């Protein structure tokens, strides 16, 4: 089942970047999209994690397991339930615990924007989007109108005090009417972050990224090739049982586009990645006893394609397409202090999705517009045989291994998604919206093929041990949403109400005391004097998620404005009395903006309510509410030079985010098992020069 790897050469340059959005982005409703677009170049504060930008979109949040390990959450769903793409291309992380979620491969300094599809995502946007869709759009440079090459670029440097972090970036573009070239590089690093009361250990990070691109244009035809090399070094993930030793890998894509404006658009692309990952529980955090040293070496090989065709007519457009994505994963655990110890965690675990879709966007008149889509996905999964030292020493582990190896591990799902959305323009300023959808997600390779009780759970970070179930059924969501978009001269707002009933929701549930996985964990507790709780098994249950989100803005005059976001989501089991795990508490962000001439400033208040509706199954802890204040400002010194600075958590507020995870590393300032605290006061500054 192994594919041959193809490695491409690397680029040269030096890099940096800023990012974390500080202002609310306006609604984008084009002919076929209802999205929130975060313009990355307009952001001011500094974050090493691109995912933090998502907090500026209604309904979105971040499950943070480390300084560059933010997993997107949207309306209570997270991880593989959200389709995350890079310029429309998928990526499967190398880390079985999602230390490298797909969005972490988006280089913020090179991003043009982050596009968050509001609510129900069109079937043309992603193969599996039961929890929404996000696309990171990269700058490639622009073709010019003449034959002479023009050189342009941008150099950015930024720093923050909370962890002595810095980011450096250089992008250089050379183009004429037919060719465009891109060279870019990025470097970022930071020490352990401070909070009111000490340091978060380990939360240091370091990463470099090198990119090159070439584009060719001939009339309505465009070819684009992109290559990136990612090199992440030693980085802490205090909410997980191990830390990052390294991530190394190649990302590449080749895209053809035919665009005859207003008539026909054809996009065909082939893309892939080859990613290698090492993690340990001893090199950044306090090491356990020699018998418990663990190292995990994991790889992920991805290959995908898209072929989309859009035909425009007087009343709208038809979009038809095929797409496919294949990911293969290997993960092997060992103990450097004991060469005889090993666990084949995942062996050639494959997951392939082949899809076909048809979508119609139709204008029914001056006031009504509709979007209708149908998608069929065939999802296949398979995995090789496994083994490990525990299976040679403990009868329960041997029973788990033998049952897994003798099972029919090849699985196939046939999923049909349906989408219908409509807009009614009631007046010049007001339009009403309603949407209904049926969306699927087939199980991840972790949920199917985790054979031994471990925490390789795509970043759940609940501290529980899990095993998979090969015969899991796909999740099926039946979603309805209603909303209003109002845009007046001074006031704009866009509220949404939604309800999703999810059949066969995949959730960890308790095992029988006589199950081999339970017997193994209890046996390990007896041998080692530990008290690990009984493991859970990924199981199909029934769930529901519902809530409300809104963004709004009020302009007082040409200089002053007020804007904000309001989010409320509730996640519950339908089969038993319990709440879903790691759901964002009700929250709001209010921002006062001032702009005059070349100056801009903002005062921001971020407020989170208490979260006491927690999962008993996941032994989830409640969290208190909190509020923090942020300030920032920028000065456009010249058309080419911009200076920006600010302070986050101005009053050094002590708080713990409900989505921040639990501490898993020995630390004199934070007990193991306590909620990880939010960062303390941080001064930051940025310089950006364009040429």
Radius of gyration (C-alpha) of the chain in whole angstroms: 25
Confidence label for 155 from pLDDT (cuts 50, 70 and 90): very high
Q: What is the pLDDT of residue 12?
A: 22
Asked, for residue 5, whether it belongs to a domain, the answer is no
Q: What percent of the chain has pLDDT over 70?
A: 94
Q: Is position 120 within any domain? A: yes
- The pairing of beta strand 179-190 with beta strand 205-218: antiparallel
- pLDDT of 75 strictly over 50: yes
Task: Say whether pLDDT at 11 is over 50.
Answer: no
Label residue 270 by pLDDT band (50, 70, 90): very high
Helix 395-406 × helix 516-528 angle, to 10°? 150
Tokens 């899990």 belong to residue:
466
Handedness of CA 14, 90, 404, 541 (dihedral sign): positive
Q: For Cα atoms 138, 141, 147, give the angle at the middle one, nearest 5 degrees.
A: 160
Could you tell me the CA-to-CA distances from 661 to 321, 581, 611 in Å, in that order? 40, 11, 14
Q: Please check whether residue 394 lies inside any domain of the structure.
A: yes
| Listed range (35-44, 155-164, 378-387, 464-473) with the worst mean pLDDT | 35-44
pLDDT at res. 110? 84
DSSP one-letter code for 579? B
Is residue 371 over pLDDT 80? yes
pLDDT at 464 over 80: yes
pLDDT in the model for residue 33: 59
The per-residue pLDDT for 44 is: 66
Quickly state the pLDDT bin for 38 (edges 50, 70, 90): confident
Residue 36 pLDDT grade (very low, low, confident, very high; cuts 50, 70, 90):
confident
pLDDT of residue 37: 82
Q: In three state form, how does the secondary structure of 327-393 look?
A: EEEEEEEEECCEEEEEEEEEEEEEEEEEEEEEEEEEECCCCEEEEEEEEEEEEEEECCCCCEHHHHH
- pLDDT interval class at 41 (50, 70, 90): low
Instruction: Answer whether the bond into residue 485 is a cis peptide, omega within 30°.
Output: no
**pLDDT tens track for 621-653:** 999 999 999 999 999 999 999 999 999 999 999
Query: Both tokens of residue 16?
Result: 């940096």
Q: Report the alpha-carbon distance of residue 81 to residue 66 in Å, rounded.
A: 20
Asked if residue 479 lies in contact with residue 500, where contact means CB atoms within 8 angstroms, the answer is yes
Residue 15 lies in a domain: no
Whether residue 102 lies inside any domain: the answer is yes
**549 within 8 A of 565, measured Cβ to Cβ:** yes
pLDDT band at 23 (very low <50, low <70, confident <90, very high): very low
Q: What is the number of structural domains in the chain? A: 1
pLDDT given for residue 32 in this prediction: 53
| pLDDT digits 0-9 by tens, 229-242 | 999 999 999 999 99
Question: Could you tell me the pLDDT band of residue 561, with boundaries at 50, 70 and 90?
Answer: very high
If you count DSSP H runs as helices and E runs as strands, how many of each does the chain have, helices first? 4, 33
What is the DSSP-derived secondary structure letter of residue 503?
E
Global model pTM greater than 0.85? yes
Owning domain of residue 590 = 27-690
Identify the residue with better confidence: 437 or 46.
Answer: 437
pLDDT band at 24 (very low <50, low <70, confident <90, very high): very low
Predicted confidence (pLDDT) at residue 46 exceeds the cutoff of 90: no
> Binning pLDDT at 50, 70 and 90, where does residue 20 land?
very low
DSSP string, 4-34: PP-----------------SPPPEEE-SS-E
284 occurs within a structural domain: yes
User: Of 39-43, 131-135, 188-192, 540-544, which gets the smallest average pLDDT?
Assistant: 39-43
Which two structure tokens, joined as six digits, stand for 98?
A: 């999602």
Look at residue 486 in the predicted model and tell me its pLDDT: 96
Whole-number pLDDT of residue 5: 32
Residue 10 has pLDDT above 70, yes or no: no
Q: Identify whether 18 is part of a domain.
A: no
The pLDDT mean for the chain works out to 93
As a whole number of Å, the end-to-end CA separation of the chain is 48
CATH code of the domain in which 365 resides = 2.40.170.20
Rounded CA separation 61/291 (Å): 39
**Mean pLDDT, range 103-112, rounded to an integer:** 89
Task: List the structure tokens of 495.
Answer: 């509220």
* Mean pLDDT in residue range 607-619: 98
Q: Is residue 113 part of a domain?
A: yes
């Amino acid at each position: 089942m192994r594919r041959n790897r193809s490695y491409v050469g690397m680029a040269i340059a030096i890099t940096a970047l800023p990012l974390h959005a500080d202002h609310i982005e306006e609604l984008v409703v084009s002919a076929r999209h209802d999205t929130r677009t975060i313009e990355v170049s307009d952001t001011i504060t500094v974050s090493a994690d691109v995912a933090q930008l998502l907090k500026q979109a209604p309904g979105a949040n971040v499950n943070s397991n480390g300084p560059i390990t933010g997993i997107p959450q949207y309306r209570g769903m997270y991880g593989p339930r959200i389709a995350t793409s890079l310029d429309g291309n998928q990526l499967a992380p190398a880390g079985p615990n999602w230390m490298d979620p797909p969005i972490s491969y988006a280089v913020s300094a090179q991003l043009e924007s982050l596009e968050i599809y509001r609510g129900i995502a069109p079937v043309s946007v992603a193969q599996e989007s039961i929890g929404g869709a996000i696309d990171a759009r990269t700058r490639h440079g622009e073709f010019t109108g003449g034959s002479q090459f023009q050189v342009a670029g941008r150099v950015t440097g930024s720093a923050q005090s909370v962890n002595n972090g810095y980011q450096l970036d250089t992008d250089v573009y050379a183009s004429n009417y037919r060719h465009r070239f891109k060279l870019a590089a990025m470097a970022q690093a930071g020490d352990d972050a401070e909070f009111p009361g000490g340091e978060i250990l380990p939360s240091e990070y370091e990463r470099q990224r090198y990119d090159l691109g070439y584009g060719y244009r001939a009339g309505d035809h465009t070819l684009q090739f992109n290559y990136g090399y990612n090199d992440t070094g030693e980085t802490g993930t205090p909410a997980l049982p191990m830390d990052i030793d390294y991530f190394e890998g190649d990302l590449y894509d080749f895209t053809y586009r035919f665009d005859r404006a207003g008539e026909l658009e054809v996009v065909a692309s082939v893309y892939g990645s080859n990613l290698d990952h090492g993690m340990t529980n001893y090199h950044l955090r306090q090491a356990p006893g020699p018998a418990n040293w663990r190292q995990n070496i994991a790889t992920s090989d991805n290959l995908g394609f898209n072929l989309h065709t859009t035909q425009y007519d007087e009343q709208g457009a038809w979009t038809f397409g095929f797409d496919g994505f294949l990911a293969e994963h290997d993960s092997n655990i060992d103990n450097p202090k004991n060469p005889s110890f090993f666990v084949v965690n995942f062996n050639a675990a494959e997951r392939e999705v082949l899809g076909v879709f048809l979508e119609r966007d139709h204008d029914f008149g001056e006031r009504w517009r509709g979007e209708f889509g149908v998608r069929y996905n065939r999802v296949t999964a398979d995995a090789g045989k496994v083994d490990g030292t525990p299976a040679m020493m403990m009868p329960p582990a041997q029973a788990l291994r033998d049952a897994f190896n003798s099972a029919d591990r090849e699985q196939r799902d046939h999923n049909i998604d349906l989408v219908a959305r409509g807009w009614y323009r009631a007046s010049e300023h007001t339009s009403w919206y309603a949407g209904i959808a049926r969306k699927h997600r087939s199980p991840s390779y972790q949920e199917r093929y985790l054979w031994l009780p471990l925490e390789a759970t795509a970043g759940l970070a609940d501290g529980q041990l899990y095993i998979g179930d090969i015969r899991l059924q796909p999740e099926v969501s039946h979603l309805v949403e209603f909303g209003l978009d109002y845009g007046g001269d001074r006031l704009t707002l866009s509220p949404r109400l939604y309800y999703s009933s999810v059949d066969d929701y995949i959730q960890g549930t308790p095992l029988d005391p006589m199950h081999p996985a339970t017997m193994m964990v209890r046996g390990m507790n007896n041998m080692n004097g530990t008290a690990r709780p009984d493991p859970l098994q990924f199981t199909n249950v029934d769930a529901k998620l519902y809530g409300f989100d809104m963004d709004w803005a009020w302009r007082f005059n040409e200089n002053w404005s007020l804007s904000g976001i309001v989010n409320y989501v509730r996640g519950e089991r339908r089969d038993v009395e319990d709440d879903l795990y790691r759901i964002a508490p009700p929250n709001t962000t209010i921002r006062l903006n001032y702009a005059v001439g070349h100056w801009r400033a903002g005062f921001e208040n971020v407020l989170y309510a208490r979260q006491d509706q927690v999962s008993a199954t996941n032994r989830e802890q409640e969290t208190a509410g909190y509020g923090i204040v942020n300030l920032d400002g920028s000065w456009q010194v010249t058309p080419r030079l911009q200076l920006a600075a600010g302070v986050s958590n101005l009053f050094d507020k002590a708080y713990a985010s409900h989505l921040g995870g639990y501490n898993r590393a020995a630390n004199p300032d934070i007990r193991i098992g306590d909620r990880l605290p939010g960062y303390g006061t941080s001064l930051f500054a940025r310089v950006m020069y364009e040429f």
